[in-house]
Structure 1
């Protein structure tokens, strides 16, 4: 190598290292995106908010409630995996992500549940989600779970819980995150991994079932079910859980409804489902005054 550098000369050596750095920093992009069409919708400085009538199965009974899906793009830090305060100064640490916030609110008897899940998935770069978080608050206490990507197919997780058996825990997971599927639908359904996969069930499911963070064998398929609708189906091979998400067949692939089926210890089916009731494109973070509360009525929000 020393003789090679000597033969190349100073100017060629500089060029050699420049090309080497560029090639090492290159990250593959998603193949099936119309970046112009995609950017016109997702980079307009607003979020997409959808409200849903929710039927959440809990403690052996179906509970009526409300769910909200919020999709918005953000500038994210690769290293810290948080939203950047000054993206213009971040350089190559900046990565564009699609963020999904999903909230669920429902009542069990006298006390309410407030749950929230967030997923952060690169938009243009061909990559699985970088970060996933979930929290649950109810009158017994609260829990928080966070998983950060720390390798090609590996996540470092932390769980903070008021339950003694769970306590504060640190764990590692290898595989695909079920909660990533929601963002992949919105980016482009062609990005969804089809067929047999190793997948970690949703963090919401983990919280309500108190199962360990262990990836399971599963099968994914996507079918067109009408002229303008498609459906993602996810079935775990153990038979304990399945997920169906119905979305519009054409860009920007908005989500219309979903269904989760769990099989309890007695072999009974517990069905959670949600159907969209309203959708709005808005810069909601600027609409925080009393005079803006009418916007909740436009979204048919009750909780």
Structure 2
């Protein structure tokens, strides 16, 4: 019953918002958004990756797959029945990183489920993360409930073996990739705020899953020709306490293609910068 109560609350909040503002326009309401994202195709982008780990940069590949689908609000899973009233449309991101450290393989897979109706559902509803390496495996899941995120984690490593807690609502780093595709540039989060770092970065650094104070900025890209695209934007998330920076580079005009990123943090007492540069971008059935 509690899941259905959540749906009722969401609907009531949506009704209040409509009365107060006659519904602020959102990108997902536009014809060009529907034409791009509602054809039943997935957008697949591939990136040449150099990932910092064990005190060096390791060659690999990253893939980002964006696709819209119906998502159940109660069970927080893909809708596979005809009960449309139980669901909302999300922009799903499957974010895959694979790299090799010597002969040591890493495979890291994150799925993010972010509603396209950003006025009604301002927060991402779910994130899952799995990591496989030669030591063992780990799993993380965040579900949006009770104005925050319910965390469930399992891991091969002793200090991460079993995690279950509630985290107060904060911006998710993992959702910013989808927000870039869903929001106008002016609506993207900026300023000083609490942010939960990406699940992949936390697992690579064996950090506790919790929000950190971060500074987020947005400006035209002023770098060299490493990242290619039309009128690029530099979106930067800095974490002073953990001394980690993430820079995402994307095109200013819709559909805001993500052309690459850089991530700087300490590994084995070395401050290294991971980098990903796009190779190709396609639509695939």
* TM-score, normalized by the shorter chain, greater than 0.5: yes
SS at match of 1:26: helix
**Where does residue 169 of structure 1 map in the other structure?**
163
**C-alpha contact 1:105 1:113 (8 A) present in aligned 2:** yes
For the pair shown, which has the larger CA radius of gyration, 1 or 2? 1
Equivalent-residue separation in structure 2 for 1:157 and 1:213 (angstroms): 8
Q: TM-score, normalised by structure 1?
A: 0.81
Equivalent-residue separation in structure 1 for 2:13 and 2:57 (angstroms): 52
Equivalent-residue separation in structure 2 for 1:155 and 1:257 (angstroms): 28
| Deviation of 1:172 (Å) | 1.5
**C-alpha contact 1:200 1:213 (8 A) present in aligned 2:** yes
Asked if residue 151 in structure 1 is aligned to residue 153 in structure 2, the reply is no
Which of the numbers 65, 69, 83 marks the counterpart of 2:64?
69
The runs of 5 or more residues in structure 1 that have no matched partner are 1-20, 284-303
Say if 1:162 and 1:187 are closer, same or farther in 2 by CA, change over 3 A: same
Say if 1:23 and 1:159 are closer, same or farther in 2 by CA, change over 3 A: closer
| Deviation of 1:264 (Å) | 4.4
Which of the numbers 257, 262, 265 marks the counterpart of 2:260?
257
Equivalent-residue separation in structure 1 for 2:39 and 2:106 (angstroms): 33
Larger mean Cα displacement after TM superposition, 182-191 or 75-84: 182-191
**Where does residue 272 of structure 1 map in the other structure?**
274
| Deviation of 1:249 (Å) | 0.5
Say if 1:30 and 1:156 are closer, same or farther in 2 by CA, change over 3 A: farther
Equivalent-residue separation in structure 2 for 1:66 and 1:247 (angstroms): 18
**Where does residue 100 of structure 1 map in the other structure?**
93
1:32-75 CA-partner distances (Å, limit 9, x unpaired): 41521111100011010000000001111110000000000010
Which of the numbers 109, 117, 124 marks the counterpart of 2:110?
117
**C-alpha contact 1:30 1:124 (8 A) present in aligned 2:** no
Equivalent-residue separation in structure 2 for 1:71 and 1:85 (angstroms): 19
| Deviation of 1:193 (Å) | 1.3
SS at match of 1:184: helix
The runs of 5 or more residues in structure 2 that have no matched partner are 1-9, 18-22, 223-229
| Deviation of 1:259 (Å) | 0.5
| Deviation of 1:225 (Å) | 2.5
1:221-268 CA-partner distances (Å, limit 9, x unpaired): 1112276111101111225111100001000001001000013474x3
Equivalent-residue separation in structure 2 for 1:137 and 1:239 (angstroms): 24
| Deviation of 1:111 (Å) | 2.3
RMSD: 1.9
Larger mean Cα displacement after TM superposition, 27-36 or 41-50: 27-36
Say if 1:27 and 1:128 are closer, same or farther in 2 by CA, change over 3 A: farther
**C-alpha contact 1:178 1:202 (8 A) present in aligned 2:** yes
**Where does residue 48 of structure 1 map in the other structure?**
43
**C-alpha contact 2:140 2:154 (8 A) present in aligned 1:** yes
Say if 1:27 and 1:168 are closer, same or farther in 2 by CA, change over 3 A: farther
| Deviation of 1:151 (Å) | 2.8
**Where does residue 300 of structure 1 map in the other structure?**
none
Which of the numbers 105, 123, 132 marks the counterpart of 1:128?
123
Asked if residue 282 in structure 1 is aligned to residue 284 in structure 2, the reply is yes
Q: TM-score, normalised by structure 2?
A: 0.86
SS at match of 1:180: helix
